[in-house]
Amino acid sequence: MPTLIVCAVDAEAEAVRAGLADPGRFSVMTSGVGPAAAAASTATALARGEYDAVVNAGVCGAFQGRADIGDTLIAVRTAAADLGVDLADQFQPLDELGFGSMTVDCDPSLTEGVEGYRGDILTLTSITGTADKGLLLTNRFPAALGEAMEGFGVATAARQAGLPFAEVRTVSNFVGDRDVAGWDWKGAFGALTEAVSRL
């Protein structure tokens, strides 16, 4: 059975397809942006086909000082960073509320050949737009390397289907930097092509 690789947008999917050494081992799809679209699209694909694992692949923002632009990030866990209660003086995660978990562990065997930094990758429903919010997230999640918008959604669909999950991201920008003109899309897509060649 093939491994399902889920990308948010077509540009990511094209970069992934360009790097696959054995395309027959994989099925690459585009889910749409955000955790809801990612979860729904992945669940639909898993209901319609047979797969042995699920990988979420794409570009992301990195927390400055933890990774650099162009680096590859491999998730140890994917975490829904804004799933819980956001109080004035603290954040109470879903786990503490007793309604489930805001994290999904990744299967390291799926990415053992991929070179890069390993740690948590956060999933948010909106891109972090300020340095202060970025600092808040790094304080709240000390193992977080970067943030994206789909990982937890894809992981949730995989978990409910009983399939192993992994997340691989390459860095196009730093979290909190909204000067898109300075983002390195080309470098991140090139790094993504190289990273998935080792899956």
CATH of residue 162's domain is 3.40.50.1580
| Residue stretches of the chain with pLDDT short of 70 | 84-85, 87-90, 92-98, 100
Q: Are 3 and 25 in contact (CB under 8 A)?
A: yes
pLDDT at residue number 143 = 93
Predicted TM-score (pTM) of this structure: 0.91
Helix ranges restricted to H, 5-143 = 10-19, 35-48, 94-97, 131-140
pLDDT tens string 94-131: 666 667 678 899 999 999 999 999 999 999 998 888 88
Contacts of 29 (CB under 8 A, 6+ apart): 4, 5, 6, 7, 13, 41, 45
Query: For tokens 């992301």, what's the residue?
Result: 60
Rounded Cα gap, residues 42 and 44, in angstroms: 5
Contact between 106 and 165 (Cβ < 8 Å): yes
Quote the domain boundaries for residue 27. 3-196
Distance CA 35, CA 5 (A): 15
118 bridge partner residues: 74
Instruction: Return d(Cα 89, Cα 85) in angstroms, integer.
Output: 11
For residue range 22-37, what is the model confidence (pLDDT) as tens digits?
Answer: 888 999 999 999 999 9
Give me the number of domains the chain comprises. 1
